[in-house]
Structure 1
């Protein structure tokens, strides 16, 4: 291998996701949100479609893939360096770079199958065109672009391979029709709705459609919004103030070439999470976090994340959490009291919600109820069953059976 060439397949075969930074240097890449993978941009670049002459435009200039000894490689710039885009730098993909007679085929493979996990079906005979700009941050993926009239179908097979993310779709021009969970909703310019990345869906955009899509780990939103699953495929009107702020914020972000400072990246992700939660209907404490962003509210947010990260541990207690954050148990209790709840109630609620999510997932049908209970931190199966029934009005067995029937149907 020469200094001017590097095999993308070698990168993909490494045991951990990596980013190619030069012909000799590899660097660990932070986890990003698109499709729940760390190497989705690497896989996008290494798609076989790109080996057939396509040019993906990037702020640093065009990348011209070519085949060499049956391995997909990338030629670098005039200095002989080869690299994929650095983290958090926008990636632009457009059908304008593809041969006219193969635009749809290549878009299906590069964007549909590799990045967004959709099958793509045009709904008219007009020439197909599409373009998207992708930005990936730790805990957040942002896509914005345009496309010809088409259905983007998330099949059950594709959904099964997706990460547990929530998708927030905003239509900025045209009309969108989204179907999921036997619900169908139509949204126009300035409106939005929430979808699940792990369930089949059909998204149709027509009439000069333009869009902004956010991909966010479910845990990041469920901390701030009670039962986000209940909000799936429910339109959010353009009059929603938080949605207008979020759309404006994303418009500004779309004009930024890169965000290199880690602190700035974290700030951007936090602001977008806050605005998204507010648009969906955030809890009282989340609104407080978004408004104040002081030490006290930031610590509360961190404690909530810590609880979710440690739900499976039966020794999870206010004392252990207080030790991790170097505060007193009473201090933590006062934080939760300001939100009208207690530490114990919050832990129980999060465990029950997670158990309900696992039991409702038909892909996990072979997992027993006791396994689910222990997985989310319950040590007493009888107590778990009683608490679950009080919370959801159904037994764990009822929920599991309902998920099985819906899957068979």
Structure 2
């Protein structure tokens, strides 16, 4: 499978294939062409698998769910010339993998590095959810010290770099809209940074990652935390910093690099959420909406809302009820 690395998303599912044709078609059209392996289901239950694939420059992200199976990277497949490194992370399940006389076992949260340049196999005896990041040997090998020594070595699930990497990928995969070209390139660079740190970056690469991928991943994690707790009036930079094990000053610095402040970001997200709630078909009373969006004072909410959107909450609700689509778009 050769596609343009522009952030496009592809979805594959055995549910789209008739059961009698499922295994041979999945093996030929997905396993061999996309994952570059041979596949053999285990057990008597009907085989099922689905994958979401994001293609970025020099890295392909694949999130998969699959029934029990064994996969082989065979000599004929190795002959295809693909020598990518594959960072595999077990979201849920178990796997035994072997390559170059090394065997590794991973369970929930475990990870290891595999090379497509040689033969090997992996076996998941139960259904699993697996994340794989496929990097070109050129791009990852340039920033990881002695990368071949990292092959088939279990990575600690509690690694901070791995946690940041997974959080970054989760946010990236949650996007509903197409990625602009600059974000595609930046996201690929950040994923390389974080993967290199998890595997053992060279000194120069580690310094670059600290300025790039690590900061980006931490900022995304903090923003996600804010969005998850907008309803709390006591949402403060100190509380967020304590949950993430970093200093309030560092969080302020992260938002400064994003040309905003922590306070402004929280206010903007609360106001955006309030706008959406006000224009919903079954909208709550305005006071309840203000409270559910984290505003403890209705007067402060009304003032902030009008300053942001150029209209009062009551105006927005009335115009939305009249079907004014242009007014609905005001929260963008």
**Aligned partners of 2:163, 2:195: CA distance in 1, in Å?**
10
**Does the CA contact (< 8 Å) of 2:94 and 2:108 recur in 1?**
yes
Among candidates 33, 43, 50, match of residue 114 of structure 1 = 33
**Aligned partners of 1:266, 1:247: CA distance in 2, in Å?**
18
Matched, 1:127 2:89: no
Deviation at 1:258, TM superposition (A): 4.7
Deviation at 1:260, TM superposition (A): 3.2
**Does the CA contact (< 8 Å) of 1:225 and 1:277 recur in 2?**
yes
- Please name the residue that 1:90 is paired with: 9
- Please name the residue that 2:330 is paired with: none
Q: Which has the higher helix share?
A: 2
CA change 1:139–1:281 in 2 (3 A) is same
Per-residue CA deviations over 1:80-137 (Å, capped at 9, x if unaligned) read: xxxxxx9422110100011012211111011112111111111211110000011111
- Please name the residue that 2:77 is paired with: 158
CA-based RMSD of the aligned residues comes to 1.8
- Please name the residue that 1:185 is paired with: 104
Per-residue CA deviations over 1:262-290 (Å, capped at 9, x if unaligned) read: 21011101110010000001122222111
Deviation at 1:143, TM superposition (A): 0.6
Among candidates 248, 264, 269, match of residue 167 of structure 2 = 248
**Aligned partners of 1:203, 1:245: CA distance in 2, in Å?**
26
- Please name the residue that 2:155 is paired with: 236
**Aligned partners of 1:99, 1:261: CA distance in 2, in Å?**
36
Helix, strand or coil at the partner of 1:207: coil
**Does the CA contact (< 8 Å) of 2:193 and 2:212 recur in 1?**
no
Matched, 1:271 2:233: no
Matched, 1:212 2:131: yes
Q: Which runs of 4+ in 1 moved over 6 A?
A: none
**Does the CA contact (< 8 Å) of 2:99 and 2:152 recur in 1?**
yes
Matched, 1:40 2:2: yes
Matched, 1:149 2:149: no
Structure 1, gaps ≥5 residues long: 1-38, 43-85, 295-409
Helix, strand or coil at the partner of 1:126: coil
Deviation at 1:40, TM superposition (A): 2.4
**Aligned partners of 1:252, 1:169: CA distance in 2, in Å?**
18
**Aligned partners of 1:259, 1:181: CA distance in 2, in Å?**
40
- Please name the residue that 1:386 is paired with: none
The 5-angstrom pairing of residues 5-404 of structure 1 reads: 40-41=2-3, 87-293=6-212
**Aligned partners of 2:190, 2:6: CA distance in 1, in Å?**
19
Query: Number of residues paired by the alignment?
Result: 213
Deviation at 1:181, TM superposition (A): 0.4
**Does the CA contact (< 8 Å) of 2:95 and 2:107 recur in 1?**
yes
When the two structures are superposed, what TM-score results if normalisation uses the length of structure 1? 0.50
Per-residue CA deviations over 1:247-270 (Å, capped at 9, x if unaligned) read: 111111221235432210111011
**Does the CA contact (< 8 Å) of 2:52 and 2:63 recur in 1?**
yes
